[in-house]
Amino acid sequence: MELKNVLSTIDTNTEKYINMVDLTVRKKNSQYFTPFSIGSYMSDKINLDKNMKVVRVLEPSGGTGRLAAAFLLGLDFSSVDKVYIDIFELDKNLIDILETNIKLISNYFSEKNVELDYSIYCENFLEYDNSNKYDVIIGNPPYKKIRKNSSEAIANSELLHGQPNLYGLFIGKGVRMLNDEGQLIYLVPRSFFNGKYFSRVRELILNDYSLSFIHSFESRTKVINNEILQELVIVKIEKKMIGEVIIKHSLGIEDIDMSSEFVVEKDIIWDVENIKIRLPIKNNHIDIIRKMNSFRFNLSDYNLRFKTGPLVDFRMSEYIDIVQSFNKYYPIYWCANFGDTNVKWPLVDTKYPQYVSNDIPISVLLNKGNYLLVKRFSSKEESKCLKVNKICFNSYMYDKFTVENHVNYLKVNDEDIILLLGLFVLYNSKFYSDYFSIINGTTQINVTDLNQLPVPNISTIRILGEKANRIDYSNPEECEKLLFSCI
Ligand SMILES: C[S@@+](CC[C@H](N)C(=O)[O-])C[C@H]1O[C@@H](n2cnc3c(N)ncnc32)[C@H](O)[C@@H]1O
């Protein structure tokens, strides 16, 4: 059979399964099959030694075998004599298709005088006790949160930190099955780069392996048939130590080969202190990271800390009102109350209640003072992800107030209006928003990420505060200019 017929038969078999099984069932089992174009792009990133005659391969979550096929059929048959491949697939309903597809490849290999020795395991990869080592591991593992007491989590407890997700465990278990020169390539959600639940797996990679290649996709919908709404990345991890990382970025599949490539040192990608992976996708992002690396402090050095707004409206609805109907009341600040630089309150004609009664539990009230507020969510379309406002002690007539749960806040010393202004300029600058998008692929601005952001020394922040009134500090570009002139 000709190569193109092998490929199209595997594609047809995969499509048949996709059309036969309801999307809700496939979603539940995390069955998103990798298109050939992505599979062969991933395979191209595997560099096998030209003299390698025998190759050992693992596909830990085989599906219909389309990704494995993309790799196997792209091999250089003039140098390889024999390929061993172990394929795991948990769903018994996929095994027949998987077997049919791999047999087709095996026949094609025979025609090329290459032996394909394959084993298909209808097993849970995460629980299977497999001491084999592989030259190549290729996968698009299932993305699914699992319980901490699930059998998969217990079997891989050393890789866990909080809420486990299957794909993190597939990465951790996979890399430990690599041969000395082994290479692993996976398509996974970008949340692996900074989600706290994956910190143990990242630590393992940082210490014992090398992340040598990243391809990120701009679009959430243009990678796997609109079926996955997470930002996806292709990562290559190698057993040997490599000091540089190749980065590529495209909108989706169609322009995957057109994307430009740049190479950066490992310490640009790794935020070693917080064990997170940064994703620069433009050349100027490298300068941003370098500058940020030169800041040696963070907020905790100045006893400052962002927290999340304590008021969860539906839990406190009996204390909340849209109009000023209580005798004694305090203000609530929502995202809707954000102005250009200062919060606006009270809003009229709004669906967001502006008042809480003063007998609301004290735990959700904050004392009057100088505060910085940052919205907890931004939309992907917005050019700037950090939306900042301030509340100034002097202009404030209430003893207490509350902040709704979609807003983060930072309390600054009451007398220190200069520091408040300096911090405003810092977080409102385009520079900080750009850096945030490099470390965080989601639209969530969580307090852990905010608190871990490096900051300049406190005297520089105060200088920003002193000079703030000389610029239009509602403008992020002007804030950036002022910041750059002071560091
Ligand atoms: C995202 S799909 C990818 C399939 C294939 N690798 C591809 O790229 O086309 C993940 C596959 O893993 C299977 N799977 C889910 N949990 C698994 C587990 N614990 N062990 C092995 N396979 C699993 C699912 O049934 C699904 O077919």
Answer with the one of 214, 247, 281 that is the final residue of a domain: 281
- Percentage of the chain exceeding pLDDT 70: 97
The protein residue with its alpha carbon nearest to ligand 1, atom 10, reads 142
pLDDT of residue 222: 65
On whether both 435 and 319 belong to a single domain, the answer is: yes
DSSP-derived secondary structure for 224-288: TTTT--S-EEEEEEESS--SEEEEEEESSSTTGGG--EEEEEHHHHEETTTTEE----SHHHHHH
The two three-digit tokens of residue 239, written as one number: 């057993």
Q: What is the pTM of this model?
A: 0.90
- Asked, for residue 295, whether it belongs to a domain, the answer is no
Bridge-based pairing state of the strands 329-333 and 366-367: unpaired
pLDDT of residue 221: 67
Q: Which tens digit of pLDDT belongs to each residue from 183-204?
A: 999 999 999 999 888 899 999 9
From 41, 73, 90, 125, the mutation candidate for ligand 1 (largest count of ligand atoms within 8 A of CB) is 90
- Asked, for residue 294, whether it belongs to a domain, the answer is no
- Residue 214 pairs with which residues in a beta bridge? 235, 247
What is the mean predicted confidence (pLDDT) over 230-258?
91
Atom of ligand 1 nearest to the CA of 89: 22
pLDDT of residue 77: 86
On whether both 74 and 151 belong to a single domain, the answer is: yes
The protein residue with its alpha carbon nearest to ligand 1, atom 17, reads 90
User: What value does the mean pLDDT of the chain take?
Assistant: 92
Q: Which tens digit of pLDDT belongs to each residue from 358-395?
A: 899 999 999 999 999 999 998 766 778 899 999 987 77
- Percentage of the chain exceeding pLDDT 90: 76
Pocket around ligand 1 at a 6 A CB cut-off: 29-34, 61-63, 66-67, 88-91, 94, 124-126, 139-140, 142
Residue 483 or 383, more confident: 483
Atom of ligand 1 nearest to the CA of 63: 27
124 CA distance to ligand 1 middle (Å): 9
30 CA distance to ligand 1 middle (Å): 7
65 CA distance to ligand 1 middle (Å): 10
63 CA distance to ligand 1 middle (Å): 5
On whether both 95 and 232 belong to a single domain, the answer is: yes
260 CA distance to ligand 1 middle (Å): 31
92 CA distance to ligand 1 middle (Å): 11
Atom of ligand 1 nearest to the CA of 128: 20
From 30, 42, 125, 144, the mutation candidate for ligand 1 (largest count of ligand atoms within 8 A of CB) is 30
pLDDT of residue 415: 83
> Above 90 in pLDDT, residue 443?
no
6 CA distance to ligand 1 middle (Å): 22
- Asked, for residue 288, whether it belongs to a domain, the answer is no
Atom of ligand 1 nearest to the CA of 14: 9
Task: Calculate the CA dihedral of residues 334, 337, 342, 344 and round it to 10 degrees.
Answer: -130
Give the H or E element holding residue 12.
helix 3-20
On whether both 361 and 307 belong to a single domain, the answer is: yes
Cα 487 from Cα 482, distance rounded (Å):
9
Amino acid (1-letter code) at residue 145: K
151-158 long-range contacts (CB < 8 A, ≥24 apart) are 151/124, 151/127, 152/124, 152/126, 152/127, 155/126, 155/127, 156/126, 158/200
CATH number at residue 167: 3.40.50.150
On whether both 223 and 336 belong to a single domain, the answer is: no
Atom of ligand 1 nearest to the CA of 59: 6
DSSP assigned state of 324: S
The two three-digit tokens of residue 345, written as one number: 């309150």
73 CA distance to ligand 1 middle (Å): 20
pLDDT band with cut points at 50, 70 and 90 for residue 92: very high
CATH number at residue 467: 3.90.220
Q: Which tens digit of pLDDT belongs to each residue from 253-305?
A: 888 888 878 999 999 999 999 999 999 988 899 999 999 999 999 999 999 99
pLDDT band with cut points at 50, 70 and 90 for residue 119: very high
pLDDT of residue 16: 95
Atom of ligand 1 nearest to the CA of 139: 6
- Asked, for residue 47, whether it belongs to a domain, the answer is yes
The two three-digit tokens of residue 389, written as one number: 């406002």
The protein residue with its alpha carbon nearest to ligand 1, atom 25, reads 91
Residue 177 or 77, more confident: 177
pLDDT of residue 220: 64
Task: Measure Cα distances from 78 to 44, 83, 249 in Å.
Answer: 16, 13, 32
Cα 198 from Cα 185, distance rounded (Å):
17
On whether both 314 and 420 belong to a single domain, the answer is: yes
Atom of ligand 1 nearest to the CA of 32: 1
How many residues does the structure list for the chain? 487
143 CA distance to ligand 1 middle (Å): 9
Query: Cβ atoms within 10 A of the Cβ of 252, count?
Result: 16
On whether both 219 and 333 belong to a single domain, the answer is: no
The protein residue with its alpha carbon nearest to ligand 1, atom 24, reads 31
On whether both 276 and 306 belong to a single domain, the answer is: no
Task: Measure Cα distances from 341 to 190, 349, 350 in Å.
Answer: 32, 21, 20
On whether both 199 and 270 belong to a single domain, the answer is: yes
Closest C-alpha to 64, from 105, 28, 14, 111: 14
The protein residue with its alpha carbon nearest to ligand 1, atom 26, reads 31
103-107 long-range contacts (CB < 8 A, ≥24 apart) are 104/1, 104/6, 104/9, 104/10, 105/6, 105/10, 105/65, 105/68, 105/69, 105/72, 105/73, 107/1
On whether both 447 and 405 belong to a single domain, the answer is: yes
Look at the chain and report how many structural domains it folds into.
2
The two three-digit tokens of residue 442, written as one number: 């989601």
Contacts of 83 (CB under 8 A, 6+ apart): 54, 55, 56, 57, 72, 75, 109, 114, 115, 116, 117
Atom of ligand 1 nearest to the CA of 124: 20
pLDDT band with cut points at 50, 70 and 90 for residue 34: very high
Query: Cβ atoms within 10 A of the Cβ of 35, count?
Result: 18
> Above 70 in pLDDT, residue 357?
yes
Contacts of 72 (CB under 8 A, 6+ apart): 57, 83, 85, 105, 109, 116
The protein residue with its alpha carbon nearest to ligand 1, atom 2, reads 31
- Give the domain range for residue 310: 300-486
The two three-digit tokens of residue 329, written as one number: 């009341």
pLDDT of residue 144: 85
Q: What share of the chain is helix, strand, coil (3-state, %, to 5)?
A: 40, 25, 40
416 CA distance to ligand 1 middle (Å): 55
On whether both 306 and 272 belong to a single domain, the answer is: no
96 CA distance to ligand 1 middle (Å): 15
Cα 423 from Cα 462, distance rounded (Å):
8
Residue-wise burial string across 67-83, b where 16 or more C-beta atoms lie within 10 A, e elsewhere: bbbbbbbbbeeeebeeb
> Above 80 in pLDDT, residue 441?
no
pLDDT of residue 35: 92
- Asked, for residue 289, whether it belongs to a domain, the answer is no
- Asked, for residue 286, whether it belongs to a domain, the answer is no
59 CA distance to ligand 1 middle (Å): 9
On whether both 434 and 387 belong to a single domain, the answer is: yes
- Asked, for residue 290, whether it belongs to a domain, the answer is no
Decide if 428 contacts 479 (C-beta within 8 A): yes
pLDDT band with cut points at 50, 70 and 90 for residue 225: low
